[in-house]
C-alpha cells in the first residue's frame, strides 16, 4: 500500500482504458481541474449512488472548470454495462491491476465487521490545472459526498 497523497503533491500520471476500451490519460486534461474518484465496484448500491450523484452534478462541475473521472478495478466491459444501466455521463476508467489505485493511496487495508482485508478505499483526489493535488479525501461516504465536494470547492 502506498502513502496517501496530500495537497501540493504531484498527481501520479496514468493512462487507463475507459468503458469503450479507449485509452484516457490524466495528461489529456492538462489545463483543467480534474476530480478523480476511486470506488470499489461498478453496479453496487453505494458506487451507483456516487456515480449518479457525479452525473447529476456534471454540468455544474464542468461549468466551474472540473472534469470528473471515476476509477475502479472493474474491467471495461463491466464499466460499459454500469454506464448503460445507470445512464452515467462521467468518464469511467478500468484499473484491474490496481496500479493507479495504489499510486493514489486508494487501495489498502480495510476493516469491516471485525474482518481485515485488502480493498479499494473510497477516495477523491482533486487535481489542479498544473497536475498537482489540490484536495485529497480518503474513506469518503458514497452518499452526500458529491454535495460536500461542491461545497468544499465553493461551487
Q: Which residues are catalytic?
A: 47
**What are the start-end ranges of the E strands in 75-129?**
91-94, 107-112, 115-120, 123-127
How far is residue 105 CA from its own chain's centroid?
A: 12
Choose among 85, 60, 5, 62: nearest CA to 38.
5
Question: Alpha-carbon distance 102 to 115, whole Å?
Answer: 21
Q: What is the CA radius of gyration of the chain?
A: 14
**Are 143 and 122 spatial neighbours (Cβ–Cβ below 8 Å)?**
no
First-to-final CA distance of the chain: 33
Amino acid at each position: 500500500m502506498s502513502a496517501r497523497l496530500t495537497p501540493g503533491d504531484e498527481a501520479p500520471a496514468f493512462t487507463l482504458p475507459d468503458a469503450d476500451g479507449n485509452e484516457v490519460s490524466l495528461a489529456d486534461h492538462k489545463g483543467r481541474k480534474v476530480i478523480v474518484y476511486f470506488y470499489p465496484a461498478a453496479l453496487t448500491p453505494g458506487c451507483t449512488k456516487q456515480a449518479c450523484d457525479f452525473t447529476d452534478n456534471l454540468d455544474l462541475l464542468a461549468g466551474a472548470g472540473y472534469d470528473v473521472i471515476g476509477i475502479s478495478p472493474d474491467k471495461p466491459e463491466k464499466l460499459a454495462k454500469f454506464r448503460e444501466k445507470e445512464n452515467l455521463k462521467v468518464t469511467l476508467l478500468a484499473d484491474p491491476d490496481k496500479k493507479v489505485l495504489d499510486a493514489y493511496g486508494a487501495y489498502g487495508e480495510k476493516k469491516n465487521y471485525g474482518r481485515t482485508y485488502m480493498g479499494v478505499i473510497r477516495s477523491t483526489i482533486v487535481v489542479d490545472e498544473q497536475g498537482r493535488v489540490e484536495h485529497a479525501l480518503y474513506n469518503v461516504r458514497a452518499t452526500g459526498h458529491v454535495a460536500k465536494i461542491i461545497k468544499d470547492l465553493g461551487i
